[in-house]
Amino acid sequence: MLADSLTPDVDRSGEGAWQPYVHAGAAALLIGALGWFGTLQVWVLALTGGAIAFSIARRDGSEPATTDRSATLLKLAFVVVLGAASYDNRAHHIDVLRPSAAHLAGFFLIAAGLDLRRRAMASLGHQFSIKVVLFDDHRLVEDGPYRTIRHPNYTGLVLIMVGTSIVLESPLAFAAVVVVWLPALLLRIRHEESALERHFGAVWIAYARRTARLVPRLY
């Protein structure tokens, strides 16, 4: 997750300390309400969505004060997907003690996505950010999963979102991933790559030519 312009690393600690709680509460209530808080998985979705919204808002508050509409759109699309899954699960009980082959496949995709994101964030180090921001000491990361994929963090998110819709047996969530979340992700990638090309120039162009955006040999 990178950059729009060269922006100094401004310390914003203490600003809007209440915002993460507001974002978390709003996300949890919306997701839960769409599922009528009717099943265990709806409660899990609501709590998970709230926790992620809290983490994103807190991280956002510690980064430079700059507008990033692509990041906002992606966060809203994420809530839409979880809300769709919640609605599909409002009265549908899943027996977690007897997982089907589809459930196991979904859990595998989620685990693979989490691991890929972990490795991508480890490679980025302090350069990882919620917004598209370039720091003074920014470098083009080409190690770890970035050797073959330009956006392994986003590839991991795709695996997680698809896996979640499978585990929750939610066609509506899968449709939301394809129709709402994926276009928001592609817009984010275009925004990010434009910024990287402006900043790194020919080095970025050469790197982009030998790597895939999300899936090796496909895209």
Segments in the chain below pLDDT 50:
1-14
The pLDDT score that the predictor gives to residue 130 is 80
> Would you identify the CATH topology of the domain 19-209?
Four Helix Bundle (Hemerythrin (Met), subunit A) (1.20.120)
Query: What are the angstrom distances between the C-alpha of 40 and each of 45, 89, 117, 151?
Result: 9, 9, 27, 33
Nearest to 178 by CA among 47, 69, 75, 80: 80
Question: What pLDDT score was predicted for residue 62?
Answer: 78
- Cβ–Cβ < 8 Å for 2, 134: yes
pLDDT of residue 106: 97
**pLDDT computed for residue 16 by the predictor:** 63
Residue 39 DSSP one-character state: S
CA distances from 166 to 30, 45, 75, 94, 107 (A): 21, 14, 21, 12, 8
CA pair distance 165, 120, nearest whole angstrom:
23
Place of tokens 């990010």: 192
Confidence at residue 129, expressed as pLDDT on a 0 to 100 scale: 82
Instruction: State which amino acid sits at residue 67.
Output: T
